[in-house]
């Protein structure tokens, strides 16, 4: 190569742009929609849980990788929706009552250590010694919903994308009010901000929530990954809709492809207003019983307008075992991070859900799950094989790796 450095730099930029275009053309030929409008109308991000497992898992994993989100339709059977919705509505009252009682007691000067004894509060010890108790996990108010949370299709998708050993690090209700008789518009957020179809509340989710729940308050900051985010999926947010959602009624907003963008709606240097629409944004649509799953890096938000009925939904945030989900925010009594469970509450969980929530019960010894152990065992065997080679075939040692070539990728 006799090209100058400038020529080579120009060539690298040209080839990289060309590669980008080739990839887009390939996607087009494969019928993958590359505009928000085509994606919205085709629902190419959605797969039915009734399809063969591999088809749903591959489809969802590809959708998460390409768009940053997917929807699994038909997870909760239609004849169970009314029961689960009623249960969620009741749970909402219990969670709110609990939170009010805790905040009121704190206001009255009750110390954190004495809170557990206060009438009307439901707190549980956390796993971390010396940390204050927290609100009990919402799952205890949702026993019917708990039967679906570890749905085999949903856990298979999460495993495929995150890792084999999963933790449900947060679980909470996310209702969106409908319009009230007094004229208050429906939607998310303060009543004064609600009602316009062209407003948003853009953010990304923990551990990519840049405000980290607590801003500069060390008692409440739960941690956030530094920008630019590495291109790895570290968290999945799932929204389980218990009412139908569409453009007028409670459907989550997303910006397809944003999970791989180095900017962020809350990025201090990125010049994005969190309350304005972003070109290329769209709302997903789904029936009650569907689960929206997104990479935590995907730019998304609750709709701040809802002209339909109240939206009822349960949100969970799933992490692989290697993300430290609960090491910080020592003073957060009411945040949604790893709300704990007592031993009896843990014991009452459905069998398949237990491994995903074991880390929430301080009296359960949390150990790594079988597929992770199997991987480690295979690695240990590989290690032993090398030593056997050294001991049994010393003549082969010098050349045994001659087929392995590692390039430096500048």
Question: Which segments of 30-162 does DSSP mark as H helices, in order?
Answer: 36-42, 53-66, 78-107, 143-149, 152-161
With binding defined as CB under 6 A, does residue 306 bind ligand AKG? no
Contacts of 84 (CB under 8 A, 6+ apart): 76, 142, 144, 145, 148, 242
With binding defined as CB under 6 A, does residue 315 bind ligand AKG? yes
Q: CB of residue 300 vs ligand AKG: minimum separation in angstroms?
A: 6
- The residue range among 92-100, 219-227, 299-307, 372-380 that interacts with ligand AKG, by the rule CB under 6 A, is 299-307
Q: CB of residue 310 vs ligand AKG: minimum separation in angstroms?
A: 12
Q: CB of residue 193 vs Fe ion: minimum separation in angstroms?
A: 16
Select the binding partner of residue 302 from ligand AKG, Fe ion, none (C-beta < 5 to 8 A, by kind). ligand AKG
114 burial level (CB within 10 Å; 0-12, 13-18, 19+)? exposed
Instruction: Quote the CA–CA distance of 126 and 362 in Å, as a whole number.
Output: 6
- The residue range among 114-122, 144-152, 192-200, 300-308 that interacts with ligand AKG, by the rule CB under 6 A, is 300-308
Residue closer to Fe ion by CB (options 205, 335) is: 205
Residues 151-180 close enough to bind ligand AKG by CB under 6 A: 174
Strand 46-48 to strand 236-241: parallel, antiparallel, or no bridges (unpaired)?
unpaired
Select the binding partner of residue 297 from ligand AKG, Fe ion, none (C-beta < 5 to 8 A, by kind). none
Select the binding partner of residue 165 from Fe ion, ligand AKG, none (C-beta < 5 to 8 A, by kind). none
Select the binding partner of residue 121 from Fe ion, ligand AKG, none (C-beta < 5 to 8 A, by kind). none
Query: Could you tell me if 296 and 158 are in contact, meaning their C-beta atoms sit under 8 angstroms apart?
Result: no
Select from 101, 239, 312, 325 the one that contacts ligand AKG (CB under 6 A). 239
Task: Pick the closest to residue 266 from 220, 229, 314, 318 (CA basis).
Answer: 229
Instruction: Quote the CA–CA distance of 365 and 343 in Å, as a whole number.
Output: 11
Residue closer to ligand AKG by CB (options 74, 205) is: 205
Instruction: Quote the CA–CA distance of 159 and 150 in Å, as a whole number.
Output: 12
Q: CB of residue 385 vs ligand AKG: minimum separation in angstroms?
A: 46
With binding defined as CB under 6 A, does residue 205 bind ligand AKG? yes
3-state secondary structure of 372: helix
Query: Could you tell me if 342 and 227 are in contact, meaning their C-beta atoms sit under 8 angstroms apart?
Result: no
With binding defined as CB under 5 A, does residue 295 bind Fe ion? no
Residue nearest to Fe ion (CB): 205
Note the residue count of the chain: 410
Residues 59-118 close enough to bind ligand AKG by CB under 6 A: none
Phi-psi region of 173 (alpha: psi -120 to 50; beta: other; left: phi over 0): beta
Instruction: Quote the CA–CA distance of 206 and 10 in Å, as a whole number.
Output: 38
Residue closer to ligand AKG by CB (options 151, 203) is: 203
With binding defined as CB under 6 A, does residue 300 bind ligand AKG? yes
Query: Could you tell me if 142 and 134 are in contact, meaning their C-beta atoms sit under 8 angstroms apart?
Result: no
- The residue range among 298-306, 320-328, 345-353, 387-395 that interacts with ligand AKG, by the rule CB under 6 A, is 298-306
Q: CB of residue 76 vs Fe ion: minimum separation in angstroms?
A: 21
Instruction: Quote the CA–CA distance of 181 and 151 in Å, as a whole number.
Output: 38
Q: CB of residue 22 vs ligand AKG: minimum separation in angstroms?
A: 34
Q: CB of residue 252 vs ligand AKG: minimum separation in angstroms?
A: 3
Task: Pick the closest to residue 203 from 269, 300, 283, 295 (CA basis).
Answer: 300
State the virtual CA torsion across 116, 121, 124, 129 in degrees, nearest 10. Answer: -40
Residues 181-220 close enough to bind Fe ion by CB under 5 A: 205
Residues making contact with ligand AKG (CB under 6 A): 174, 205, 237, 239, 252, 300-302, 315
Residues making contact with Fe ion (CB under 5 A): 205
């Amino acid at each position: 190569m006799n090209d100058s450095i400038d020529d080579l730099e120009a060539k690298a930029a040209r080839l990289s742009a060309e590669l980008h275009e080739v990839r887009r053309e390939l996607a087009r030929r494969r019928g993958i929609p590359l505009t928000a409008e085509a994606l919205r109308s085709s629902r190419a991000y959605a797969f039915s849980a009734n399809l063969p497992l591999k088809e749903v898992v591959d489809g969802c994993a590809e959708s998460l990788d390409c768009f940053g989100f997917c929807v699994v339709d038909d997870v909760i059977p239609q004849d169970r929706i009314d029961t689960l919705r009623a249960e969620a509505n009741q749970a909402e009252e219990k969670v709110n009552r609990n939170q009010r009682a805790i905040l009121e007691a704190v206001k009255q000067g009750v110390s954190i250590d004495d809170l557990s004894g206060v009438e009307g509060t439901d707190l549980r010890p956390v796993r971390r010694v010396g940390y204050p108790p927290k609100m009990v996990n919402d799952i205890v108010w949702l026993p019917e919903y708990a039967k679906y949370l570890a749905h085999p299709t949903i856990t298979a998708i999460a495993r495929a994308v995150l890792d084999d050993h999963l933790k449900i690090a947060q679980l909470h209700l996310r209702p969106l009010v409908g319009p009230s008789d007094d004229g208050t518009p429906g939607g998310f957020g303060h009543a004064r901000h609600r009602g316009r179809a062209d407003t948003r509340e853009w953010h990304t989710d923990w551990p990519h929530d840049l405000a980290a729940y607590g801003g500069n308050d060390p008692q409440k900051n739960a941690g956030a990954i530094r920008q630019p985010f590495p291109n790895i999926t570290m968290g999945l947010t799932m929204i389980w809709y218990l009412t139908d959602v569409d453009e007028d009624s409670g459907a989550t907003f997303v910006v397809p492809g944003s999970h791989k963008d180095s900017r962020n709606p809350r990025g201090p240097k990125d010049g994005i207003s969190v309350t304005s629409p972003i070109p290329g944004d769209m709302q997903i649509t789904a029936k009650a019983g569907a689960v929206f799953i997104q990479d935590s890096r995907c730019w998304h938000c609750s709709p701040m307008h809802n002209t339909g009925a109240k939206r009822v939904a349960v949100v969970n945030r799933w992490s692989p075992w290697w993300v430290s989900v609960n090491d910080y925010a020592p003073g957060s009594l009411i945040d949604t991070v790893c709300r704990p469970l007592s031993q009896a509450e843990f014991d009452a969980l459905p069998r398949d859900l237990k491994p995903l929530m074991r880390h929430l019960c301080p009296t359960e010894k949390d150990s790594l799950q079988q597929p992770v152990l199997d991987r480690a065992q295979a690695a240990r065997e590989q290690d032993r094989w090398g030593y056997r080679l050294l001991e049994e075939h010393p003549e082969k040692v010098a050349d045994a790796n001659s087929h392995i070539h590692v390039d430096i990728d500048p």
